[in-house]
């Protein structure tokens, strides 16, 4: 492993000057004017709570103006998160580890009872005393993707730019997430830079630790998380500046008419592209549920798509959805815009979280569906509001806070049963 620790007098001097010029856990007038906000007030843990919990459960405290992890946590516990979700931002913090210490800063973490730990959804800026860890646990060695400063298990840093102060001294890190452009900084140097959601990003995700973590890194928003990984660690000067969303109005074609690039298959389902360039979805051999989902998440959008039901057309267009249990599983959490045979509420909204039907279409609108012909379905999701249209006719409108609080994949369903086949074409999505 490359030696990546160095003590720089200049770095220490800069840190010392900063501490003299500005009291920790405060914002200067210039920072306030630029939109920076503190995530830690230096005295309380207000604004923080345990992952997947409404309150702070323990293991964290404020000591001498620092958030301190007790070292009681581990892989399965010891995470605290912000109350607020963040999308695009610059996030800066000071950190200090103990000998062989292991911690991390995660972002875009999604909370849900199905996720037992934050790192299966949220990318992590790794914080670890690499040399101390390898001394303590010799002959064990850290893989490069486990080392200090990495985008954990995804992107490695530029080791030539890594200047780290010794254990017990303060270091300063920064994460920039700007509409998919990501940077990691350490003590004033940019050490990692990449674009999320490119083919290269998805290839890295599929080939490494996250190969079966279906939802890793896909959310474009989420809570920020600090990790207690079994070692005491201290944090201070945690501040964030939110950046503007740049993708509103962006047009996205979800299907290229040639193959399923940009989609991922879950459970049992046969998928093909016919000679006319239509996406064909039908029963798998075991006749169980199957799903074809976008590999990216979409929160607020206006989508139109054409579909034609052949044989039994029992299907659906899911949104704000995710799959639990890996790619071989077919358990979907989220919401479905129904696509079904006549008399079965095509255009209605069904929830797989447990509430079932949220709204069914009026009986007099069942005849809008054209059996055995192409139909145009429109689904608009903006905040808490969901609207659907079928062949130009308004079908439903609903306001639901739970829908508005979530994000996720768009997915095509094949219901369990026999002889189900649905063709799709002309997917056009506008981000709102």
What structural domains and CATH numbers belong to the chain? 9-242 (2.60.120.560), 251-431 (2.60.120.560)
DSSP characters over 254-269: ---SSS-TTEEEEES-
Check residue 5 and give its pLDDT.
42
CB 352 within 8 A of CB 319: no
Check residue 18 and give its pLDDT.
42
Check residue 12 and give its pLDDT.
39
Q: How far apart are CA 387 and CA 107, in angstroms?
A: 31
**This model's pTM is above 0.85:** yes
Check residue 330 and give its pLDDT.
86
Counting as low any pLDDT under 50, the low residues of the chain are 1-20
Phi-psi group of 249: left, alpha or beta (phi > 0 → left; psi -120 to 50 → alpha; rest → beta):
left
Q: How far apart are CA 321 and CA 264, in angstroms?
A: 13
Q: How far apart are CA 422 and CA 346, in angstroms?
A: 13
Q: Of 82, 386, 128, 382, nearest to 238 (Cα)? A: 82
Check residue 326 and give its pLDDT.
86
Check residue 95 and give its pLDDT.
98
Structure tokens at 234: 């201290």
Check residue 21 and give its pLDDT.
67
């Amino acid at each position: 492993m490359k030696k990546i620790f160095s003590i720089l007098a200049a770095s220490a001097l800069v840190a010392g000057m900063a501490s003299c010029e500005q009291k920790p856990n405060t914002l200067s007038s210039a920072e306030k004017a630029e939109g920076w906000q503190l995530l830690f007030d230096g005295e309380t843990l207000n604004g923080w709570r345990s992952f997947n919990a409404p309150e702070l459960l323990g293991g964290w405290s404020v000591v001498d103006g620092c958030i301190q992890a007790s070292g009681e946590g581990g892989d399965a516990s010891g995470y605290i998160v912000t109350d607020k979700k963040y999308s695009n931002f610059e996030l800066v913090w000071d950190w200090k580890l103990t000998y062989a210490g292991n911690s991390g800063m995660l972002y875009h973490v999604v909370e849900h009872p199905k996720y037992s730990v934050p790192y299966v959804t949220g990318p992590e800026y790794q914080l670890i005393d690499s040399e101390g860890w390898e001394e303590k646990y010799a002959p064990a060695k850290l893989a490069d993707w486990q080392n200090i400063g990495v985008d954990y298990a995804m992107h490695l840093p530029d080791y030539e730019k890594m200047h780290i102060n010794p254990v017990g001294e303060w270091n300063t890190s920064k994460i920039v997430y700007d509409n998919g452009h990501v940077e990691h900084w350490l003590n004033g140097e940019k050490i990692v830079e990449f674009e999320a959601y490119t083919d290269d990003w998805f290839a890295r995700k599929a080939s490494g630790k996250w190969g079966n973590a279906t939802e890793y890194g896909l959310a474009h928003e989420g809570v920020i998380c600090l990790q207690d990984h079994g070692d005491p660690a201290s944090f201070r000067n945690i501040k964030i500046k939110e950046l503007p969303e740049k993708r509103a109005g962006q047009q996205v074609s979800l299907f290229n008419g040639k193959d399923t690039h940009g989609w991922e298959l879950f459970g049992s389902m046969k998928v093909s592209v016919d000679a006319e360039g239509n996406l064909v979805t039908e029963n798998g051999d075991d006749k169980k549920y199957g799903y074809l989902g976008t590999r990216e998440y979409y929160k607020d959008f206006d989508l139109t798509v054409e579909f034609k039901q052949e044989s039994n057309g029992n299907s659906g267009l899911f949104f704000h959805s995710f799959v639990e249990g890996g790619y071989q599983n077919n358990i979907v959490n989220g919401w479905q815009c129904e696509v079904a045979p006549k008399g079965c509420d095509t255009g209605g909204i069904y929830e797989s979280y447990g509430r079932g039907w949220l709204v069914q279409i009026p009986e007099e609108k069942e005849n809008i569906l054209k059996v055995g012909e192409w139909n145009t379905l429109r689904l608009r999701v903006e905040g808490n509001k969901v609207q659907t249209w079928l062949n130009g006719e308004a079908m439903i409108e609903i306001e639901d806070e739970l829908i508005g609080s979530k994000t996720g994949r768009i997915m095509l369903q094949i219901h369990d049963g026999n002889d189900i086949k649905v063709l799709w074409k002309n997917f056009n999505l506008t981000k709102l």
